[in-house]
Amino acid sequence: MIHFVLLVSRQGKVRLTKWYSPYTQKERSKVIRELSGVILNRGPKLCNFVEWRGYKVVYKRYASLYFCMCIDAEDNELEVLEIIHHYVEILDRYFGSVCELDLIFHFHKAYYILDELLIAGELQESSKKTVARIISAQDQMVEAAKEEAGSISYIIAQTT
């Protein structure tokens, strides 16, 4: 299973974290610090796997962002690479050629999409189209609610 998902920028800034196994706040920051140290320092042509505390971390770099997923030692590393790519493709479709800034200002969207892809650290959907459809259905519900609330919910409209 996937224990956590981590998106880290080239500069070591955290862009997204999702924990499927319980880690305390302290452990989380330690894990992030430790792993970004290891992964950001790896050379370009090396393999995409890092052994870490008895687990494996599969990472892949897309432009300025490192997508990392931590899995059990016996899991299929190559498949996890595909899952990462799957996620990136869905993000790309949703935002229309996604860039780091999209993920910063619309971080909640990135989380919503991830939640349609993974639950309990396992893959939920292999079809990009299905994920896109479910996300847009939910976005529409939010839009509709906003319109309905109209004037009073001005603030909510501004923030999402």
Partner 1 sequence: MNSIFSGTRLRDMIRSIRACKTAAEERGVVRKECADIRASINENDPHDRHRNLAKLMFIHMLGYPTHFGQMECLKLIASPGFPEKRIGYLGLMLLLDERQEVLMLVTNSLKQDLNHTNQYVVGLALCALGNICSAEMARDLAPEVERLIQFRDPNIRKKAALCSTRIVRKVPDLAENFINAASSLLKEKHHGVLITGVQLCYELCTINDEALEYFRKKCTEGLIKTLRDITNSAYQPEYDVAGITDPFLHIRLLKLLRVLGHGDADASDLMTDILAQVATKTESNKNAGNAVLYECVETIMAIEDTSSLRVLAINILGRFLSNRDNNIRYVALNMLMKAIAFDDQAVQRHRVTILECVKDPDASIRKRALELVSLLVNENNVKQLTKELIDYLEISDEDFKEDLSAKICSIVEKFSPEKIWYIDQMLKVLSEAGKFVKDDVWHALIVVISNASELHGYTVRALYKAVLTYSEQETLVRVAIWCIGEYGDLLVNNVGMLGIEDPITVTESDAVDVVEDAITRHNSDMTTKAMALVALLKLSSRFPSISERIKDIIVKQKGSLLLEMQQRAIEFNSIVDRHKNIRSSLVERMPVLDEATFNVRRAGSLPASVSTMAKPSVSIPNGVAAAPLVDLLDLGSDDIMAAPSSSGADFLQDLLGVDLGSSSAQSGATPGPKAGADLLMDILSIGTPSPAQNNTSSIDLLSTAGINNNPSNALDTLSSPAPPHIATTASAGGMFDLLDGLSPSPSKEATNGPAYPPIVAYESSTLKIEFTFSKPSGNPQETNVQATFINLSPNTFTDFIFQAAVPKFLQLHLDPASSNTLPASGNITQNLRVTNSQHGKKSLVMRMRIGYKLNGKDVLEEGQINNFPRGL
SS3 label, residue 124: coil
Nearer to partner 1, 63 or 133 (CB): 133
Among candidate residues 70, 106, 57, 67, the one with its CA nearest the CA of residue 89: 67
**Of 10, 79, 136, 147, the one binding partner 1 by CB under 8 A:** 79
Q: Compute the distance between CA of residue 158 and CA of residue 47 in angstroms, rounded to an integer.
A: 43
17 binds partner 1 (CB under 8 A): yes
49 belongs to the binding site for partner 1 (CB under 8 A): yes
Q: Minimum CB separation from partner 1 for residue 29, in Å? A: 5
3-state secondary structure of 76: coil
Applying CB under 8 A, the span of 62-70, 91-99, 100-108 interacting with partner 1 comes to 100-108
CA-nearest of 69, 104, 71, 64 to 87 is: 69
User: Residue 14: in which H helix or E strand, if any?
Assistant: strand 14-19
- Residues making contact with partner 1 (CB under 8 A): 14-20, 22-25, 29, 32, 43, 45-51, 76-79, 81-83, 86, 104-105, 107-108, 111-112, 115, 119-120, 122-130, 134, 137-138, 141-142, 145-146, 149, 152-156, 158-160
